[in-house]
Amino acid sequence: MKIQKNKHYEIIVFPNQDIGLKAQQILVTKNIDFKHISTLAVVVPEEKRQEICLLLNKEGILISGYYPFLYRDYEEEFFKRAQEYKPSVNKEEFLKSITLCYVAPCIADRKKIRLIAYFSCDISEILPYLNAVIKGASYNKNAPTLTFTKGRRIINLYNIKVAIAKADDIIDAWNILNELKDLINKTYQNKDKIKPNYEEKVKVTALEIYGWLPKTNCKACGESTCLAFAVRLLLGEQKLENCKPLFSEVKFAENKNIMQEMIEALGL
Ligand code: SF4
């Protein structure tokens, strides 16, 4: 399929290479036009996306998600980066794979994407070791979860999954997942030499929490401003659910999800 700059397209993402390959074989067999990004994703015309997803679902193909193909992605650079991406495969490792199961645009910033991926094994035992090697991470041993940032991206590690918000695009997401897999395996291999850190460092500030709130100062939570609400939330004196607009307005749904994960991860 030839990409035209005046048309709208979407990227469909598959959970792994086997599924992606099978999906693309089906699309070829059914004579459906698409542009190959890698074995893990394709570009399709926006108006055809629903029909194509339904067809693939009927054929038993799992889809992780889809998001708009932005103007910046038309550049050769995007496809070059996709070709350079090589998923790391080493079946002998502790963590054999990370499967991308959910991809969607961030509602607050539609130029970024959000994703959830599942680990091939439970990594709970490695979290205190990762807490020792990742600078500025916050560990919650009761959950257990480990939260940290990489640039603007927020990464929450759970026992069997990882949730990432504000990844730049799908290639950025794949690269982060690859780096994460390597870090988890390296930490596992070296764990005899690493002193596990069980300390819970709450690094999130009231201003960072404020950044995810509606910032309308509507007072529905009983506080006079959103910043006051953020401060009391951080102190454990407010509940996230008390911010009514966050839970009732669709435009804040993404922020609500991110806040819920952050609060769970920090044990607030
Ligand atoms: S209810 Fe939410 S939006 Fe309204 S003031 Fe409180 S924190 Fe801000």
Asked if residue 224 has its Cβ within 6 Å of ligand 1, the reply is no
Asked if residue 226 has its Cβ within 6 Å of ligand 1, the reply is yes
Give the nearest ligand 1 atom to 242 CA: 1
- Can you point out the beta strands (E) in the chain? 9-13, 35-38, 41-45, 65-69, 98-105, 113-119, 138-140, 145-150, 153-157, 161-167
| Token couple for 81 | 């980066």
Give the nearest ligand 1 atom to 226 CA: 8
Alpha-carbon span 74 to 29, nearest angstrom: 26
> Ligand 1: which residue has its CA nearest to atom 7?
226
What is the Å distance from ligand 1's center to 208 Cα?
Answer: 15
Asked if residue 243 has its Cβ within 6 Å of ligand 1, the reply is yes
Which pLDDT band holds residue 160 (cuts at 50, 70, 90)? very high
pLDDT of residue 13 exceeding 90: yes
Asked if residue 167 has its Cβ within 6 Å of ligand 1, the reply is no
pLDDT of residue 75 exceeding 80: no
Sign of the CA dihedral running 85, 91, 95, 97: positive
Output the pLDDT for position 201. 66
Alpha-carbon span 216 to 218, nearest angstrom: 5
> Ligand 1: which residue has its CA nearest to atom 6?
221
Asked if residue 220 has its Cβ within 6 Å of ligand 1, the reply is yes
> Ligand 1: which residue has its CA nearest to atom 4?
218
Average pLDDT over residues 152-165: 90
Output the pLDDT for position 74. 67
Helix (H) or strand (E) run with residue 175 in it:
helix 170-189
CB atoms < 10 A from the CB of 165, how many?
24
* Nearest to 214, CA basis, from 232, 237, 240, 238: 240
Provide the mean pLDDT of the chain: 87
CA 2 to chain CA centroid, Å, is 29
pLDDT in tens, 247-261: 999 888 888 888 887
Per-residue burial over 35-51, b = 16 or more CB atoms within 10 Å of its CB, e = otherwise: bebbbbbbbbbeeebee
Residues 6 or more apart from 210 whose CB is under 8 A from it?
Answer: 226, 227, 230
Output the pLDDT for position 254. 82
Asked if residue 189 has its Cβ within 6 Å of ligand 1, the reply is no
Asked if residue 216 has its Cβ within 6 Å of ligand 1, the reply is yes
Give the nearest ligand 1 atom to 219 CA: 5
* Orientation angle between helical segments 170-189 and 76-84, nearest 10 degrees: 20
Give the nearest ligand 1 atom to 229 CA: 7
Side-chain half-sphere exposure of 258, counting CA atoms within 13 A: 28
Output the pLDDT for position 203. 62
CB atoms < 10 A from the CB of 267, how many?
16
Alpha-carbon span 140 to 200, nearest angstrom: 6
Give the nearest ligand 1 atom to 246 CA: 2
Sign of the CA dihedral running 113, 72, 170, 47: positive
Alpha-carbon span 24 to 85, nearest angstrom: 18
Tell me the β-bridge partners of 45. Answer: 9
Asked if residue 159 has its Cβ within 6 Å of ligand 1, the reply is no
Mutation pick for ligand 1 pocket among 240, 244, 248, 256 (CB with most ligand atoms within 8 Å): 244
Average pLDDT over residues 103-130: 88
* Residue 1 and residue 34 in contact, taking contact as beta carbons nearer than 8 Å: yes
Output the pLDDT for position 82. 83
pTM of the model: 0.72
